[in-house]
């Protein structure tokens, strides 16, 4: 079995596991959010990783796709639109792709910093326009819809009855999780296939050297525009799934923070590998949902992780895994080094988290994960001392490992040069 095939099987198993082993509750909601984040991160990486376009307005396509889906949901619920609910993401894809046709024609004229600034301006303009058209965007409160009672289709009564017998009722979180998992896998396969097309290869050429691509007859602007349309369509799919999951869409779905979240997820996972943004999306979802439920300091942890990735592993988490696999084990010391490295990382992490939570607790922030510090002998001061000790111990272990790590066996000695 090839490595790529194994990755796809593992990815499919990861998507299917939550609805198979959980019947409801927070786990299914978290898995559904992760699936949506995966589509968003992969679609964003079509711009950043594949075409070299840094966008601060990608949330526009996801948000407008979500608005199109929420309006369609209201019409389906009222019986005015005979359309399968399971195919609502297609409406989001059409909406996102259509908007990308218009906005991409303007923003794709240049790449680099110019594109980034244009996308930022477009994102802010669309976000501001949402307040000017409350009938379309719902104003500050947004637009809500109720998916309870919606079946796979509303066109034929017999099909509705069959759908009810099969349990395809999207009023349950279980059915929605299955729907999102199916669309996540289908979207990921389609985006992977896009990377193998001639357009995908031309996007790599435009990313690496647009001047050279232009010299051989490739129009960089046209390539960027077409990639933006495809990325916008996939973002619209994610937006429509978000509308189905949360049953509400507001102007926040169009804002710059939503675009920055996609950027962070894609970069943390790694823009150079296809499954890199998948890992980044999972990390971001865990941070913004699971960790956020425990402590309000989660943005600080996410920011610290992002800075650490930028400084130490610009290729993201994917590059760390690739480097670890290629470097192998350095002789018989490898297992011990690996174990001590893990201990060092855990000590530094525990110390950093302890100091941050202690600071939040001392500031009187409610709901922090450091409430247990007050129960220690000596109170929160003891927690601060223990956290600092763990942080320094982890750093010391790391420095000693770096000093004593043996040289890889395939590393050749560099010749000395005369002054």
76 and 174: one domain? yes
Q: Which of 255, 277, 296 is the last residue of a domain?
A: 296
pLDDT, mean of each 10-residue run, the chain (419 residues)? 83 93 86 96 96 95 96 88 89 96 92 93 92 88 79 43 50 88 96 95 94 92 96 97 93 93 95 93 93 85 91 87 62 55 73 76 62 56 68 70 55 43
**213, two tokens:** 């691509």
CA distances from 49 to 52, 59, 371 (A): 6, 17, 41
417 in any annotated domain: no
Q: How far apart are CA 362 and CA 357, in angstroms?
A: 9
Contact between 366 and 302 under an 8 Å Cβ cutoff? The reply is: no
> Count of CB atoms within 10 A of residue 356's CB?
19
- Helix, strand, coil in percent for the chain, rounding step 5: 75, 0, 25
284 and 334: one domain? no
103 and 236: one domain? yes
101 in any annotated domain: yes
271 and 332: one domain? no
241 and 378: one domain? no
Supply the pLDDT for residue 312.
84
**55, two tokens:** 């966008």
Phi/psi for 24 (5° steps) reads: 175, -170
Q: How far apart are CA 7 and CA 19, in angstroms?
A: 20
Range of the domain at 74: 3-296
30 in any annotated domain: yes
What is residue 364's DSSP assignment? T
Q: Which of 272, 296, 320 is the last residue of a domain?
A: 296
Q: Which of 246, 272, 296 is the last residue of a domain?
A: 296
Long-range contacts of 197-203 (CB under 8 A, 24+ apart): 199/223, 199/226, 199/227, 200/50, 203/46, 203/50, 203/51, 203/227
**198, two tokens:** 């001639």
79 and 180: one domain? yes
Supply the pLDDT for residue 350.
76
What is the tally of structural domains in the chain? 2
Q: How many Cα atoms sit within 13 Å of 108 on the Cβ side?
A: 23
**415, two tokens:** 């010749």
289 in any annotated domain: yes
411 in any annotated domain: no
261 and 396: one domain? no
Task: With residue 146 as reference, give the H or E element that holds it.
Answer: none
Instruction: State the helix-helix crossing angle for 173-195 and 220-246, rounded to 10 degrees.
Output: 170
Supply the pLDDT for residue 319.
85
- CATH of residue 49: 1.10.3470
Q: How many Cα atoms sit within 13 Å of 142 on the Cβ side?
A: 19
Q: How many Cα atoms sit within 13 Å of 71 on the Cβ side?
A: 13
> Facing residues of 248 across strands?
144
Where on the phi/psi map is residue 170: left (φ > 0), alpha (ψ -120 to 50), or beta?
A: alpha
């Amino acid at each position: 079995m090839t490595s790529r095939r194994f990755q796809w099987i593992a990815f499919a198993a990861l998507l299917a596991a939550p609805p198979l082993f959980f019947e409801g509750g927070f786990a299914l909601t978290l898995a559904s959010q992760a699936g949506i984040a995966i589509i968003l991160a992969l679609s964003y990486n079509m711009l950043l990783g594949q075409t070299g376009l840094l966008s601060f307005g990608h949330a526009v396509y996801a948000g407008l796709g979500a608005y199109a889906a929420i309006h369609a949901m209201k019409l389906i619920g009222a019986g005015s639109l005979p359309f399968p609910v399971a195919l609502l993401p297609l409406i989001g894809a059409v909406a996102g792709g259509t908007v990308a046709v218009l906005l991409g024609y303007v923003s794709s004229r240049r790449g680099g910093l110019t594109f980034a600034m244009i996308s930022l301006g477009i994102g802010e303009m669309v976000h501001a326009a949402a307040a000017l058209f409350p009938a379309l965007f719902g104003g500050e409160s947004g637009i809500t819809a109720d998916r309870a009672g919606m079946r796979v289709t509303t066109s034929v009564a017999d099909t509705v009855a069959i759908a009810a017998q099969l349990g395809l009722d999207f009023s349950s979180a279980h059915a929605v999780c299955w729907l999102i998992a199916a669309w996540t896998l289908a979207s990921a396969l389609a985006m992977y296939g896009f990377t193998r097309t001639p357009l995908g290869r031309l996007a790599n050429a435009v990313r690496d050297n647009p001047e050279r691509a232009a010299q051989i007859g490739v129009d960089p602007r046209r390539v960027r525009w077409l990639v933006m349309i495809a990325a916008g369509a996939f973002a619209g799919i994610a937006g429509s799934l978000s509308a189905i999951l949360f049953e509400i869409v507001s102007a926040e779905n169009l804002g710059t923070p939503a675009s920055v979240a996609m950027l962070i997820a894609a970069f943390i996972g790694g823009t150079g590998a296809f499954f890199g943004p998948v890992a980044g999306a999972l990390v971001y979802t865990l941070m913004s949902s699971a960790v956020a439920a425990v402590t309000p300091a989660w943005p600080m942890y996410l920011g610290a992780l992002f800075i650490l990735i930028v400084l130490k592993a610009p290729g993201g988490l994917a590059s760390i895994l690739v480097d670890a696999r290629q470097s192998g084990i350095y002789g018989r010391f490898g297992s011990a080094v690996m174990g001590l490295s893990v201990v060092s990382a855990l000590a530094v992490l525990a110390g950093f988290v302890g100091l941050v939570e202690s600071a939040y607790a001392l500031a009187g922030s409610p709901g922090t994960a450091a409430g247990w510090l007050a129960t220690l002998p000596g109170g929160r001061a003891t927690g601060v001392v223990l956290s600092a000790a763990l942080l320094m111990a982890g750093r010391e272990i790391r420095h000693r490992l770096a000093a004593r790590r043996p040289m890889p066996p395939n590393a050749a000695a560099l010749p000395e040069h005369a002054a």
